[in-house]
Amino acid sequence: MDWQAGHVEQAIFLAFSVEFLQVAQDGVGTYTPLHFPVCFCKKRIPFLTQKEGKLVPGTSPTHASCFIYVYPHGMKVDEAERAFTKAFGHWGRVMVPPR
């Protein structure tokens, strides 16, 4: 995984929450999105769409979303949790992997 090799400084991954929970369980013995802090959004995220060359509010997706914080390699999990909660906690509940 690029994160383990130090190739990813940090990233936010957006996924549909239920589908994410199903597929993120694969990859035994390697890092999966479940190894990182996850914010389960309390409501659907309204996306933007392009109309006549401008970004305008679009419709919300049909599924609930979650954000996953791929924090800097070497950062402590509790530090990543605090930073992620500060930035994304208003969207919903942040959960962290078992330590």
Residue 65 has a pLDDT of: 87
Residues 6+ apart with CB under 8 A from 94: 37, 38, 39, 81, 84, 85, 88
- pLDDT, one tens digit per residue, over 3-59 is 778 888 899 988 887 777 777 776 655 777 778 899 999 988 888 889 999 999 888
Q: What global pTM score does this model have?
A: 0.79
- pLDDT, one tens digit per residue, over 54-91 is 999 888 778 888 999 999 888 888 898 999 999 999 99
* Other CB atoms within 10 A of residue 33 CB: 19
Tell me: pLDDT of 92 over 90. Answer: yes
